[in-house]
Amino acid sequence: MVLPPSALAHIRQKFGQRLQTGVELARYTSARVGGPAEALLVANSASDLQAIITALWELELPFTILGGGSNVLVSDQGIRTVVVLNRSREVRFSDRETPPTVWAESGANFGALARQAAARGLSGLEWAAGIPGSLGGAVLGNAGAFGGDMAGNLLVAEILHHTPVMEANEHSWVQRESWSVDRFEYAYRSSVLKRHPGAVVVLAASLRLGQSTHEAVQAQIDEFTAIRHRTQPPGASMGSMFKNPPGDYAGRLIEAAGLKGAQFGGAQISPLHANFFINQGHACANDIYQLIEMARTAVEQQFGLRLELEIQLLGDWPVDSEPVGSGQDR
């Protein structure tokens, strides 16, 4: 969908010079690929994010929220909805509560949040210290590593909920609510928000922590970091490309299919870990997508299993690809 000039005029009337057009999105993604945003707005706080999203819902304009950009592949044609760059990053620790907690806006870097907790001697987020995405994306996708995940830490999230118009004489409404962890119906790298995108936006979240010491927490982070360095490749990537199927590993299947180290254009399936697809410095999004299809086809032909993406595809992609993401990403 291309935004019509009338839509851009409405956005500009509402937000003035805050509206940016034709912004290249490669600079905002960890894979360093992606075409332009037809329209882009930057949200600098949770209240600012709420105001922007409410206005877009009222204008009935589709949007995509881009957080850390670490779990997405943006097409070379870019994103033709309104892109909202989430830079809401306020963080507040409650060290003296039992248990201690941290409240943060959804644009906060999740890995940095874990390291801040460690500096205060607060445990519970050691598993997240190497995750580059935003807190909002982590809440959305039930991010996890090393036996920990968002489902185990989330206490409550502040969300913005939209009920669209169903009848001609009805009005849509937007409401800010607090959701406890059970409302998210978490599963492996999934939530009800990810399974049904578009109607809910995460504004902020409160996470459960534990009391410890800086030395103990940092030692655990260092151990996890060393494992990451041994098993995960450096370079521009999106993190894990595919979800691990039950009882197996996507990387093992891709390697067994003979594609470890395979290249297309400027992209490569990592020789270190086959579930990581690397931009070697001159890749475009289509190069990475071609490797995705190569890996899926080879694994399906040899093992009868179709790998499911862990990342989200944003922008214009073939109609037979997985559902294109919208709403909120990492």
Catalytic residues: 189, 240, 310
Strand order, beta sheet including 267-269: 263-264, 267-269, 277-279
Q: Which of 213, 230, 279, 306 is nearest to 74 (CA)?
A: 279
Neighbours of 97 (CB within 10 A): 10
C-alpha angle with apex 129: 251 to 50, nearest 5 degrees?
A: 100
Amino acid at 212: S
Burial of 157 (0-12, 13-18, 19+ CB in 10 A): buried
Joined tokens for residue 181: 């962890």
C-alpha angle with apex 262: 261 to 265, nearest 5 degrees?
A: 125
Joined tokens for residue 320: 């037979």
